[in-house]
Amino acid sequence: MTAYEDALGEILRLSGPLAVERTAVADALGLVLAEAVASTVDVPPFDNSAMDGFALRAAGGTLEAGRSFEVAGAQAAGDGRVEAGTGAWEIMTGARMPDGLDSVVPVERVDILERDAAGRPSRIRLAADVAPGDNVRLRGEDIASGAAVMAAGTRIDPAGLMVLASLGIEAVQVRRRPRIAVINTGRELVDDPREPLAPGQIRNSNGPFLAARAAAAGAEVGLRETVGDDVGDFVEALGRALQSGADVVLGTGAVSMGRHDFVPDALRGFGADIRFHRVAIRPGRPLLFARLPGGQLFFGLPGNPVSAAVGLRFFAEPALRAMSGQAPEAPLRVPLAAPYRKRAPLRFHLKGRVELADGCLRARVLDGQESFKVLPLLAANAWIVVPPDADALEPGSMVDVYGPGHLEAPMIEEVTK
């Protein structure tokens, strides 16, 4: 069996970054920057008021409560540059500061002494001290022109869109989205939920799960098919997967050591180069990895649902990160909530739950670790990894914890004893 670290190293060696595309910012959500972004402007672009109130000049020192000022004008958001002269200016939140003024007193901290014929304040008295710079957002205070803003390898999320829009950037250089195809093998599989199960048949749960998980991992799923245990059907489906433009093909089933496990020989006949077959992990030990003739990657995942989930999460998803130009994923280190024992010197991937109890995080291994049991995945918010050389872990032992997908952190909930 291949050690997990050696298997992952081989996958990453063959997972080169994908082509760079120039994409409109409006269409870049979920894509990964191929080039760093630096600001060419100041944000905010001018000094502006953080409050509705009155702009004043306090550069000479604090203006004390009780002082009164004539109101010389008004400045609303969107108004242009104006010379302040003397006195106070009524100002709205976000409005450009009149030239010569440097502070704002909120409207609730003044007394209106007089109003003009239109009802606008014409004379005010301070009800609180005003220090220089109070309630003013300075030009470039958020982002200065020339500042590095987003590094290459950053995945663009809604906050990233907000920043890019603030800078007035129209388009960015990104890695194209990886394309995935899913081929489920097995004559026992039934895709149509309306079709009654014949003796020996089961519902195909791997197909919907892997397609959804791949999309959540940032990939575009171009094809999903189910084929029987026939070499010709499998090879034809593999050809259609490559015609769809897949960079990665996920296959499930027929990769173990049984008489009907035909995928390894079928791949060799197709011209694929099998890089490893069987990894020292649980679940998912029969996992196969191959490079297809055009350089595409093939992951042969075992048919048991949780084994397939582990294969996607810990082998295919790291490849997707590398193809997108993202840095390798780093796990959380969390103490175990309860003792755990394992019987084999393998790397275990366990359905787990990260909890917050008494202000401390802890990782709990869930019941139902068998690879055919899918119901515990509903309760799981994380994968707990136990290394091969650990067989008996006590409460408080530190373990690596990964989110359900490489782009997802555990959704932690507080528990009470």
The per-residue pLDDT of the chain, averaged, comes to 96
- SS3 per-residue string spanning 351-362: EEEEEEECCEEE
pLDDT in tens, 325-349: 999 999 999 999 999 999 899 999 9
Q: Is 135 left (phi over 0), alpha (psi -120 to 50) or beta?
A: left
pLDDT in tens, 177-228: 999 999 999 999 999 999 999 999 999 999 999 999 999 999 999 999 999 9
Residues 162 and 37 in one domain: yes
Decide: 175 and 323 in contact? Cβ < 8 Å. yes
pLDDT tier for residue 261 given thresholds of 50, 70 and 90? confident
CATH number at residue 410: 2.40.340.10
Residues 265 and 338 in one domain: no
Is the pLDDT reported for residue 387 higher than 70? Answer: yes
Decide: 383 and 405 in contact? Cβ < 8 Å. no
Quick one: average pLDDT of 104-124? 96
Quick one: average pLDDT of 21-40? 97
Residues 196 and 233 in one domain: yes
Residues 348 and 304 in one domain: no
Token look-up 């575009």 returns: 220
Residues 387 and 401 in one domain: yes
Amino acid at 316: A
CATH number at residue 108: 2.170.190.11
Residues 26 and 14 in one domain: no
Is the pLDDT reported for residue 258 higher than 90? Answer: no
Residues 120 and 227 in one domain: no
Q: What is the pLDDT of residue 411?
A: 84
Residues 302 and 368 in one domain: no
Q: What is the pLDDT of residue 410?
A: 85
Is the pLDDT reported for residue 86 higher than 80? Answer: no
CATH number at residue 166: 3.90.105.10
Quick one: average pLDDT of 21-39? 97
Quick one: average pLDDT of 386-411? 94
Is the pLDDT reported for residue 137 higher than 80? Answer: yes
Decide: 261 and 301 in contact? Cβ < 8 Å. no
Enclosing H/E stretch for 384: strand 382-386
Which residues contact residue 396 at a Cβ distance below 8 angstroms, ignoring those fewer than 6 apart?
335, 336
Residues 132 and 147 in one domain: no
pLDDT in tens, 400-414: 999 999 999 888 888
Residues 96 and 243 in one domain: no
Alpha-carbon gap, residue 210 to 305, rounded angstroms: 9
Decide: 178 and 32 in contact? Cβ < 8 Å. no
Q: Looking at the 3D structure of the chain, how many domains does it have? A: 4
Residues 158 and 31 in one domain: yes
> Among 154, 175, 196, which residue terminates a domain?
175
Is the pLDDT reported for residue 417 higher than 80? Answer: no
Quick one: average pLDDT of 302-306? 96
Quick one: average pLDDT of 386-400? 95
> Among 306, 323, 340, which residue terminates a domain?
323
Amino acid at 5: E
More confident position, 357 or 291:
291
> Among 126, 155, 175, which residue terminates a domain?
175
CATH number at residue 192: 3.40.980.10
Range of the structural domain that residue 307 is part of: 4-18+177-323
Quick one: average pLDDT of 110-125? 96
pTM for the model: 0.90
Alpha-carbon gap, residue 354 to 276, rounded angstroms: 33
Quick one: average pLDDT of 245-251? 98
Residues 26 and 150 in one domain: yes
Alpha-carbon gap, residue 218 to 327, rounded angstroms: 14
Is the pLDDT reported for residue 46 higher than 80? Answer: yes
Taking each continuous run of H as one helix and of E as one strand, the counts in the chain are 8, 30
More confident position, 257 or 163:
163
Is the pLDDT reported for residue 14 higher than 90? Answer: yes
